[in-house]
């Protein structure tokens, strides 16, 4: 119980109104330490496990309300987290009106923040970039700081704030105590710990760099081309889903969100191209539950603090395992359970074992629900809603007699059937001929088809690219351009033939027009690279029959030998002619030098 920690009665009253009863694990470990002594501390726990109260309550307990100077600084990675921490600390200090908490973050009026700092707050919550601005402008005095808190330290450093954090820590007084909280403990965080902290108390909830135990981890093995269909089917199978879909790029994020909205889902996108006003609007709607599914990039979702998320969906597996830990940690908070779902292509399977090793938990392979299973789930939800509907009798009583009369010819069973069908026919029509989206790893037939596809180039189409060797282009560069412009790495790419001024690239025929359309979009293809589908099919030397390649090689060797022989004969002939010419020239020159004897023996007179 929080009463056991001898907290200020004003703080106890505030947290009691917030519904705080039993301390969460991180709070139960940290509070006794910080309330009993002044010390540096490292807390390792997942996001959303109650770290703000763990450091916030001891700080409020030790703050001198009468001292109008900054006594505590909380540094965090994002604007959203900065605002959330400020809100929490203000709620804890509700009955201590003398304590002032001020947020300092980018994307908001710096003039208004100047005015807030001029009121001399005791606690400042800040993001590194904006705080550096305040320090350079000499708008904030840290000479009386007693507590320095680094919240979500791993994310802060991962976002590129290493230099800012170092500069701010160097600026702090030596007498301060540093508290560091992080979900993972990479090498960069260890460096801060070793450089700026003095014999810190270490508290770890769960294993190092591990995920929360309240989250169930599932993965679905699918074809890359079925990724979006699998996402829709899973959303339909979990009709009460309230979660985040993580994508790799801003372009992919926007495309997935637009597709979901077009298909009738309650979704929105969150990425770096949104203005701050758009971002705030999206986040407010999502926090209030008006938006059911948020499609986001990792960078845009950093510091995002939303409670009661039921699902996290990895539309693509992240390259960094720590990123997977952060993603999955956004659900299963506050002793609630959650599900982390990953859509995995066969080429990504190797990442599963690496994630399992770091988490110390198995990722369960699950099957994409069948069309019948989805329809059953939606039907049961519809029936539940029908049972729980709130009937306002006063509003509809006047209309009921007409309705009863109109439907009197229907039996009870027929009426129920029509009510269900009215709202359920859409799903039945959509899933009528829906295919199975699961990939059977052990299917011999599918393996044979895959091998045949690899040896059969008829499914490939050759594209013309307006870039060549003179543009210093390499095959890897072209592949990178295709991935960037299309926003996906799942396109099959075959033989690449580089010419001086242009190139030919063999691609999956089913995706060829998609690539051309992407490069035709000036917003995606900012370099203006010309791409067209060429006539004919790409010829790949490696795919020709062995006998044909052998015959061609023999012919090539014969012609090369003949050319070499001709060159040697030509050289010999030219050398002979040159020697003959030189001999004649030398003989003629000697004849000119010899004196001519017109007379025989000289006669003496």
pTM of the model: 0.59
Q: Assess if residue 597 is contained within a domain.
A: no
Rounded distance, CA 52 to CA 83, Å? 12
Q: What does the pLDDT read at residue 91?
A: 94
Give the mean model confidence (pLDDT) for residues 85-101.
94
- Calculate what percentage of the chain has a pLDDT beyond 70: 83
pLDDT at residue 563 greater than cutoff 70: no
Tally of CB atoms within 10 A around 303 = 22
Rounded distance, CA 475 to CA 483, Å? 13
Give the mean model confidence (pLDDT) for residues 469-479.
84
Pair (267, 175) in one structural domain: no
Q: Assess if residue 602 is contained within a domain.
A: no
By residue count, the chain amounts to 605
Q: Assess if residue 589 is contained within a domain.
A: no
Q: What does the pLDDT read at residue 605?
A: 40
Pair (330, 238) in one structural domain: yes
Q: What letter does residue 343 receive in the DSSP assignment? A: E
CATH code, domain carrying 258: 3.40.50.300
Pair (342, 386) in one structural domain: no
- Calculate what percentage of the chain has a pLDDT beyond 90: 30
Q: Is 591 exposed, middle or buried (0-12, 13-18, 19+ CB in 10 A)?
A: exposed
pLDDT tens by residue, 236-252 = 999 899 999 999 888 99
CATH code, domain carrying 498: 3.30.70.330
Pair (265, 301) in one structural domain: yes
Q: What does the pLDDT read at residue 592?
A: 57
- CB contact burial 564-584 (16+ within 10 A = b; e otherwise): eeeeeeeeeeeeeeeeeeeee
Pair (36, 142) in one structural domain: yes
Lowest mean pLDDT among 64-78, 416-430, 460-474, 515-529: 416-430
Q: Which residues on adjacent β-strands are paired with residue 457?
A: none
Tally of CB atoms within 10 A around 130 = 20
Pair (240, 343) in one structural domain: yes
The total domain count for the chain is 4
Pair (101, 194) in one structural domain: yes
Which helix (H) or strand (E) covers residue 60, if one does? helix 51-62
Rounded distance, CA 461 to CA 281, Å? 44
Among 102, 119, 104, 103, CA closest to 68:
119
Q: Assess if residue 437 is contained within a domain.
A: no
Higher-scoring residue by pLDDT: 103, 549: 103
Q: What does the pLDDT read at residue 332?
A: 79
pLDDT tier at 450, thresholds 50, 70, 90: low
Q: Assess if residue 582 is contained within a domain.
A: no
Pair (478, 495) in one structural domain: yes
Pull the structure tokens for residue 397.
């009583």
Cα 216 to Cα 313, 323, 450: the distances in Å are 12, 17, 32
pLDDT tens by residue, 322-335 = 788 888 888 877 66
Q: What does the pLDDT read at residue 543?
A: 43
Q: Is 310 exposed, middle or buried (0-12, 13-18, 19+ CB in 10 A)?
A: middle
Q: Assess if residue 343 is contained within a domain.
A: yes
pLDDT at residue 553 greater than cutoff 70: no
CB 2 within 8 A of CB 12: yes
Rounded distance, CA 111 to CA 102, Å? 13
Average model confidence (pLDDT) across the chain: 82
Q: Which domain holds residue 514?
A: 453-543
Q: Assess if residue 281 is contained within a domain.
A: yes
Give the mean model confidence (pLDDT) for residues 389-417.
81
Handedness of CA 541, 545, 546, 548 (dihedral sign): negative
pLDDT tier at 535, thresholds 50, 70, 90: low
Pair (359, 464) in one structural domain: no
Give the mean model confidence (pLDDT) for residues 48-59.
88
Give the mean model confidence (pLDDT) for residues 285-312.
85
pLDDT at residue 343 greater than cutoff 70: yes
Q: What does the pLDDT read at residue 59?
A: 94
pLDDT tier at 72, thresholds 50, 70, 90: very high
pLDDT at residue 444 greater than cutoff 80: no
pLDDT tens by residue, 361-379 = 788 999 999 888 888 888 8
């Amino acid at each position: 119980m929080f009463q056991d920690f001898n907290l200020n009665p004003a703080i106890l009253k505030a947290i009691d109104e917030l519904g705080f009863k039993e301390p969460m694990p991180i709070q139960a470990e940290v509070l006794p330490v910080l309330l009993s002594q002044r010390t540096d501390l490292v807390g390792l726990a997942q996001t959303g496990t109650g770290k703000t109260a763990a450091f916030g309550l001891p700080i409020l307990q030790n703050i001198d309300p009468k001292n109008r100077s900054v006594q505590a600084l909380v540094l965090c990675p994002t604007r959203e987290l900065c605002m959330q921490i400020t809100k929490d600390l203000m709620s804890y200090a509700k009955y201590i009106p003398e304590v002032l908490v001020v947020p300092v973050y980018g994307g908001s009026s710096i003039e208004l923040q100047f005015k807030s700092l001029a009121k001399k707050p005791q606690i400042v919550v800040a993001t590194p970039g904006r705080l550096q601005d305040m320090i350079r402008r000499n708008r904030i005095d840290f000479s009386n700081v007693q507590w320095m808190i680094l919240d979500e330290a791993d994310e802060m450093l991962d976002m590129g704030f290493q230099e800012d954090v170092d500069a701010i820590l160097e600026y702090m007084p030596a007498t301060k105590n540093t508290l560091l909280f992080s979900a993972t403990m990479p090498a960069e965080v260890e460096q801060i710990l070793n450089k700026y902290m003095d014999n810190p108390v270490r508290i770890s909830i769960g294993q190092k760099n591990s995920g929360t135990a309240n989250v169930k981890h599932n993965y679905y093995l699918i074809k890359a081309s079925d990724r979006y269909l699998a996402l829709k089917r899973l959303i339909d199978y979990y009709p009460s889903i309230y979660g985040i879909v993580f994508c790799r790029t801003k372009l992919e994020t926007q495309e997935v969100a637009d597709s979901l909205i077009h298909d009738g889902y309650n979704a929105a996108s969150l990425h770096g191209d949104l203005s701050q006003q758009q971002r705030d609007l999206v986040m407010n709607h999502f926090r209030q539950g008006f938006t059911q599914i948020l499609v986001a990039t990792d960078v845009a979702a950093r510091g995002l603090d939303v409670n009661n998320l039921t699902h996290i969906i990895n539309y693509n597996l992240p390259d960094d395992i720590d990123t997977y830990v952060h993603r999955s940690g956004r659900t299963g908070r506050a002793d609630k359970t959650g599900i982390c779902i990953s859509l995995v292509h066969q080429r990504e399977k190797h990442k599963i074992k690496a994630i399992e090793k770091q988490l110390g938990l198995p990722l369960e392979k699950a099957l994409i629900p069948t069309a019948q299973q989805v329809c059953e789930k939606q039907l049961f939800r519809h029936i539940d809603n029908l049972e729980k509907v709130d009937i306002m009798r006063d509003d509809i009583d006047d209309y009921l007699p007409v309705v009863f009369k109109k439907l009197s010819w229907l039996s009870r069973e027929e009426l129920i059937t029509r009510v269900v069908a009215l709202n359920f026919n859409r799903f039945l029509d959509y899933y009528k001929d829906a295919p199975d989206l699961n990939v059977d790893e052990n299917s011999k037939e599918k393996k044979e088809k895959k091998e045949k596809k690899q040896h059969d180039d008829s499914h490939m189409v050759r594209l013309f690219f307006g870039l060549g060797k003179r543009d210093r282009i390499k095959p890897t560069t072209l592949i990178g351009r295709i991935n960037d412009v299309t926003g996906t790495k799942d396109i099959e790419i075959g033989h690449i033939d580089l010419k001086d001024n242009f190139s030919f690239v063999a691609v999956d025929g089913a995706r060829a027009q998609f690539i051309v359309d992407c490069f035709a979009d000036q917003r995606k293809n900012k370099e203006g690279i010309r791409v067209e589908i060429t006539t004919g099919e790409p010829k790949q030397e490696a795919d020709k029959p062995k006998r044909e390649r052998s015959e061609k090689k023999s012919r090539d060797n014969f012609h090369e030998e003949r050319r070499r022989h001709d060159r040697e004969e030509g050289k010999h002939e030219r050398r002979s002619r040159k020697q003959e010419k030189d001999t004649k020239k030398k003989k003629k020159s000697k004849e000119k030098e010899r004196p001519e004897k017109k007379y025989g023996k000289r006669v003496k007179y």
